[in-house]
Chains A and B, each alone.
Chain A
Amino acid sequence: MAPAAIFLALFLVWPAVRALLIAFQSASGDFTGANFAAVFHEPDFTLAVRNTFLVLVIVIPVEVTIALVMAVLAQQRLRGNGVFLYFWTLPLAVSDLAAGLIWLSVLTGHGYLNSLLQDLHLIRHPVGFLDYNNLAGLVVSVVVAETWRSISLVMVIVLSGVQGIPAELGEAAAVLGAGGWQRFRHVTLPLLKPTLQVALILRTTAAFQVFAVVLVLTGSAFPVLATKAESWVYEYHNFQMAAVYAILLLGLSSASTLVYLVTLRTPRPVFQP
């Protein structure tokens, strides 16, 4: 346990603490809360917060739902199950940079989606999904690209959980007259709570940090917390402001984790190894 802990402490915790301290420094190094005030007063701060939550609030339920559907489908032992699963886990290996590029080629004005829609004569002129002033288009684009990029991990976790549910329970419920949907709601879902808890914690934490896909697809038209932090570091070389964003992200992730821990708490099963 110890070596791993030391390693992590060295390379993650200590720099994190250092970075946090920077957030409280002014340019001359004094201790001050002025940076926080500056960030809250930034013109696109509220915009970044709103955008981050917009994406999060849509992506997570969508992903969990689709992941559940995939898990259920996988359990049905359809023909070609293995093939389906391989394809469904493919995006796991795609870097978020590449994912952003792929979806850019699809969603850009003269991209594949518009090409398809025009070929099918569904539209007369290309649709500006990524136009800076098309908020709906931007949100949907980011949601779709992010979902595609990251759903595989959620699916893997959910599927593992579903596979761990003993089949006898479902069969017993069926014998007692429960239909498919009822079995799902009353047997599968409750037993999936620990699984969902892990998946939600991991996915939400990552969702607060959504970055590469947003940057490639929208440039600066759709600021989110992570892109703001990054531009403070690399454009304006102002580490203090960036550190404030980092604290914010840390705080939000921790808060959401706590929420999941409390609401999805399950009593420890008796058979503990």
Chain B
Amino acid sequence: MRRREFLIGAALLVLAACGGTPAPPTSTQTETKNAGHVVFQSSQGQPVNEAEGMRSQVLTGFNGTADFASNLTDSEITAKVLAEKQAGRSSFDLIAMTAGVFPTLQANDALEDLTPLVQKLEKDRKFNSKLLEYGKLGTQKQYYIPWIQATYVLVANKKAMQYLPKGADANNLTYDQLVGWGENMQKATGEKKVGLPAAPGSRGGLYHRFLQGYAYPSYTGTEVSGFKSPEAVQMWQMMKRLWAVTNAQSTNYANMQDPLQNGEVWVAWDHQARVKDALNNMGDQFNVYPAPSGPKGLGWMSAVVGVGIPKGAPNRAGAEALIDYLTKSQNQITTGAVLSFFPVIEGVKLSGSGVPAYLAAESVAAEKYNTNKKAVTALLPVGLGAKSDEFNKAYQDSFARILLRNEDVATVLSDEAAQLQKLLNDQKAPCWPPDPASSGPCQIR
């Protein structure tokens, strides 16, 4: 259970203080026939069927034993790696986390330099250059290698299409039109058919990403620095109207695939991996669209997952072999199918018989983010380390206070902005896209 790991980290810190173990000698061999036992800890692929798929479909061809676990969050993995760095030994060989968490580890010198590995890999494959560049964390050395990427989409039941507002194009909605859509559906069916994954907490839904990567950029052009701006207030007014036509069980939805499948929700926003079952099992009943846009454009979030090797990993050579394996084209496609993510290798086509229909549909919708001229690209929070959960909490709390408890918008935003600013200052985190770059900790206007 994920939570336990935090306690272990804390406990290990205590035990480590009483005398750690010496670091194992790093392997100098780079080419071994069998990579041996590789401990692969990921924060992605937590749903049971995804973890299963990783083990039984993706990793079976690996020449070695890959021990895959996905029971820890980014924060928990970070905490554990940092705790173990103090003890001098790492229990993980390879870690996979959302890209924005790696800076904390690198700041504590807890990551191996992967530059030689990347040079070797680039000989026979081409990574998405922007993503690869992010992996250098602003230095000349490669600290994480992009593994997979994903985004968030709008899924609509075909029964809902007739209730689109006049003149609205589902591929090009505005948030106001989304509200109108919800209102039409409610008038016609008597039920609130819009759905958001609004279950709070780390076991909950990803509605904080909706706010961070979609709602805020679409209205303010920023993810965090415009948190309490007048445009933000405008956005929250829209959210109030949207919430009025959103299914009131949304606060108990951790994923949207179940409510979509059982018909409680007809139009849902969620991470592409969390609508997978609905699209896979009942694909003929659903359409996939990009998210709506706001006054400042089409805000969307690109979630990149990177892999890195902690210092002191018992089997570094094995971990490198696993990275090589995971970034081969065929395995990128299989991984994509299992985890519902997209590849990071250029030229890997997501179509054809090897690719499930739902993934192809999602990539068509996601492609619209790339081609839209008014797209505002947001990244997952960068450089917050173990405080990522607290960052998300500020957005979740704002949601609860404004939409559930009807508190005054300006007061709530001002309160929560203070929390966020303190966090940013403590972690010394500079602004990240789409916010304009800053020289010191990101400042909220």
> CB-CB < 8 A to B405: which residues of A?
43
- Contact: A110 with B248, CB < 8 Å? no
Which of A133, A219, A234, A235 meets B199, CB within 8 Å?
A219
Is A132 part of the binding interface, using a Cβ–Cβ cutoff of 8 Å?
Answer: yes
- Cα(A126)–Cα(B200), bound, Å: 24
In chain A, positions 215-239 with a C-beta closer than 8 Å to chain B are 218-221, 231, 233-235, 237
- Contact: B404 with A132, CB < 8 Å? yes
What range describes how many residues of B lie at the interface?
20 to 34
- Nearest CB of B to A199, in Å: 32
Is B347 part of the binding interface, using a Cβ–Cβ cutoff of 8 Å?
Answer: no
- Contact: B264 with A108, CB < 8 Å? yes
- Cα(A244)–Cα(B248), bound, Å: 32
Given contacts A108-B264, A234-B3, contact A132 B249 (CB under 8 A): yes
- Contact: A124 with B252, CB < 8 Å? no
Is B47 part of the binding interface, using a Cβ–Cβ cutoff of 8 Å?
Answer: no
Is B21 part of the binding interface, using a Cβ–Cβ cutoff of 8 Å?
Answer: no
- Contact: B199 with A130, CB < 8 Å? no
- Contact: A125 with B190, CB < 8 Å? yes
Judged by DSSP, the binding face of A is loop
Interface centre among A43, A133, A220, A233 (most CB of B within 10 A): A220
> CB-CB < 8 A to A128: which residues of B?
248-249
Which of B189, B250, B263, B404 meets A125, CB within 8 Å?
B189
- Contact: A110 with B264, CB < 8 Å? yes
- Contact: B262 with A130, CB < 8 Å? no
- Cα(A218)–Cα(B252), bound, Å: 7
- Cα(A231)–Cα(B397), bound, Å: 14
> CB-CB < 8 A to A110: which residues of B?
262-264
Is A161 part of the binding interface, using a Cβ–Cβ cutoff of 8 Å?
Answer: no
Is B191 part of the binding interface, using a Cβ–Cβ cutoff of 8 Å?
Answer: yes
- Nearest CB of B to A240, in Å: 14
Name the CB-closest residue of A to B201: A235
> CB-CB < 8 A to A133: which residues of B?
248, 404
Is A171 part of the binding interface, using a Cβ–Cβ cutoff of 8 Å?
Answer: no
Is B44 part of the binding interface, using a Cβ–Cβ cutoff of 8 Å?
Answer: no
Q: What 0/1 pattern do residues 101 to 129 of A give for CB contact below 8 A with B?
A: 00000001110000000000000111010
- Contact: B190 with A220, CB < 8 Å? no
Is B6 part of the binding interface, using a Cβ–Cβ cutoff of 8 Å?
Answer: yes
- Cα(A219)–Cα(B3), bound, Å: 18
- Cα(A139)–Cα(B231), bound, Å: 39
- Contact: A221 with B251, CB < 8 Å? yes
- Contact: A130 with B201, CB < 8 Å? no
- Cα(A134)–Cα(B404), bound, Å: 12
- Nearest CB of B to A232, in Å: 12
Which of B191, B250, B259 meets A126, CB within 8 Å?
B191
> CB-CB < 8 A to B251: which residues of A?
132, 219-221
- Contact: B264 with A237, CB < 8 Å? no
Name the CB-closest residue of A to B7: A237
Is B247 part of the binding interface, using a Cβ–Cβ cutoff of 8 Å?
Answer: yes
> CB-CB < 8 A to B191: which residues of A?
109, 125-126
- Cα(A109)–Cα(B262), bound, Å: 9
In chain A, positions 9-30 with a C-beta closer than 8 Å to chain B are none
- Cα(A133)–Cα(B199), bound, Å: 14
- Contact: B6 with A237, CB < 8 Å? yes
- Cα(A124)–Cα(B188), bound, Å: 12
- Cα(A220)–Cα(B6), bound, Å: 22
- Contact: B201 with A231, CB < 8 Å? yes
Which of B190, B199, B248 meets A131, CB within 8 Å?
B248
- Nearest CB of B to A220, in Å: 5
Is B351 part of the binding interface, using a Cβ–Cβ cutoff of 8 Å?
Answer: no
In chain B, positions 345-370 with a C-beta closer than 8 Å to chain A are none
Is B202 part of the binding interface, using a Cβ–Cβ cutoff of 8 Å?
Answer: yes
Q: Can you give 16 contacting A-B residue pairs, CB < 8 Å?
A: A108-B249, A109-B191, A109-B247, A110-B264, A125-B190, A131-B249, A133-B248, A218-B252, A219-B199, A219-B200, A219-B252, A220-B199, A220-B200, A220-B201, A221-B252, A237-B6
Q: Sorted from nearest, which 7 A-B pairs have the closest CB atoms?
A: A131-B248, A219-B252, A125-B190, A234-B3, A109-B264, A132-B251, A110-B262
